[in-house]
Amino acid sequence: MFNFNSKLAKWDTRNVKNMKGTFAWCRNFNQNLDKWTFKTLRIWRHMLAHCRRFNKNLSKWSIPDNTVTDQMLAGCDLLEPKNKPNIKKKGN
């Protein structure tokens, strides 16, 4: 386990395909990611899992139904519902 807290707002994430576990278990992680855009991302699994203090706005993220999102936000205890991303489900 490690403490990651570098600036991320300007990362170019447009061509990322897999974010599996990227910030998992970074309990104090609370960086602003709302400017990130994804065109090819398909695997979101455990991306922010157990980032206990994370509560930044992800509501502008629209995640299509053909992606893997299981446990993406598991353990994000402070993440308010209004800040959660729009994860589309099959049939929506």
With respect to residue 4, please indicate whether it lies within any of the assigned structural domains: no
pLDDT of residue 4: 60
Give the global pTM.
0.86
Q: Write a three-state SS string for 63-84.
A: ECCCCECCCCCCCCCCCCHHHC
Over residues 67-92, the pLDDT tens digits come to: 999 999 999 999 999 999 998 876 54
Work out how many domains the chain is built from and give that number. 1
Residue range of the domain that includes 63: 10-92
Q: Is residue 1 part of a domain?
A: no
The answer as to whether 3 is a domain residue is: no
Asked if residues 43 and 20 have their Cβ atoms less than 8 Å apart, the reply is yes
Residue 53: per-residue pLDDT:
96
For residue 5, what pLDDT band results from cuts at 50, 70 and 90?
A: low
